[in-house]
Structure 1
Amino acid sequence: MPSFDITSKTDLAEVDNAVDGVMREIGTRYDFKGSIAKVERKENSLEIHADDNLKLKQVEELVKGYFVRRKLDPGALDWQDPERAGGNTVRQTVLIKQGIDRDLAKKIIKHLKDEKLKVQTSVQGDELRVTGKKRDDLQAAISAVKAMDIEQPLDYGNFRD
């Protein structure tokens, strides 16, 4: 029976490369001279430190730009609210989305059922497995999920006949 998997993975090595590029640019830009602005990765999140909200927004734009340059989708970033840190500085945590969470999985499954496609969808950990009798049904399911306009980047792989 043909099947495919819907996954959402972010390559953390490429995230590290993007963070290194951001830090290099912060070190060379004149408007960041004497600033404490920095970005560091901790497990599945980024932590941004800046002097004020203006510099925080500039670093945010740098991070998004370097993600695009490294062929990573900025939609994989979940921006939390900025918070005050010690000494009149600002800190912001940015979560890196890995896998498909339960709410998004339910939303995708409901959408596929509403489309009346002849496919079955099952949750397997942090990914979805879609099976159907015909390859055309699976291709229709892929296009239906792509049409949902989900912010999080999704990969459609492991296509089996």
Structure 2
Amino acid sequence: MPSFDVVSEANLSEVDNAIGNITREISTRYDFKGSKSTVEHDDGVITIHADDDLKLKQVKEILQGNLQKRGIEPGQLDYQKVEQAAGQSVRQKVLVKQGLDKELAKQLVKDIKASKMKVQVAIQGEELRVTGKKRDDLQEVIAFLKGLGIEQPLQYKNFRD
């Protein structure tokens, strides 16, 4: 029986490459001259240090632009609360979402089953396995999921005939 997996992954090596580009861009931009703004990446968590809220906003715009060029959608970024650091400086953590969380996976299963398509859906860890009798049914599910307009980007992998 044909099947495929629905996942949501970000390539962390591309995140590292984007952080390198951002660091170079901050060091060369005139509006960041004399600034102690930095961006660091450690295991799926991006930490932004900025001198003030205005610099933080500018660094976030640079971050989103560079990540999007590298194929990481803005929906995969989870911005945490802005924290005050020493003096006027601020810090913000940005989580790169990996995998489907349980609530989203349950909602997708519920939506697929409510559409009355002839497929079986199973949650396997942080991904969904969709199985059907015909390839056309699976393509119908992919079109349905794309039409839902979910904020977090989904990838369709491991197609087996």
Under a length normalisation based on structure 2, what TM-score does the superposition of the two structures give? 0.97
Q: 1:11-50 residue pairs with structure 2 within 5 A?
A: 11-50=11-50
Which residue number corresponds to residue 9 of structure 2? 9
Deviation string, structure 1 residues 16-63 (Cα, Å, up to 9, x no partner) = 000010010000001001111110012111000001111000000000
Which residue number corresponds to residue 97 of structure 1? 97
How far did residue 74 of structure 1 move?
2.0
* Structure 2, unpaired ranges of 5+: none
Which residue number corresponds to residue 65 of structure 1? 65
Which residue number corresponds to residue 80 of structure 1? 80
Which residue number corresponds to residue 143 of structure 2? 143
Deviation string, structure 1 residues 97-129 (Cα, Å, up to 9, x no partner) = 001110110111011011111111111111110
Give the whole-Å Cα distance in 2 for the aligned partners of 1:21 and 1:151.
Answer: 26
Secondary structure of residue in 1 paired with 2:39: strand
| Pair 1:114 & 2:111 matched | no
How far did residue 151 of structure 1 move?
1.4
Give the whole-Å Cα distance in 2 for the aligned partners of 1:143 and 1:87.
Answer: 51
Secondary structure of residue in 1 paired with 2:72: coil
Over the aligned positions, Cα root-mean-square deviation in angstroms equals 0.9
Give the whole-Å Cα distance in 1 for the aligned partners of 2:149 and 2:58.
Answer: 27
Identity, in percent, stands at 57
Under a length normalisation based on structure 1, what TM-score does the superposition of the two structures give? 0.97
Aligned positions, number: 161
Which residue number corresponds to residue 128 of structure 2? 128
Give the whole-Å Cα distance in 1 for the aligned partners of 2:159 and 2:61.
Answer: 36
* Structure 1, unpaired ranges of 5+: none
Deviation string, structure 1 residues 67-124 (Cα, Å, up to 9, x no partner) = 1221221221111121111222100010000011101101110110111111111111
Give the whole-Å Cα distance in 2 for the aligned partners of 1:11 and 1:33.
Answer: 31
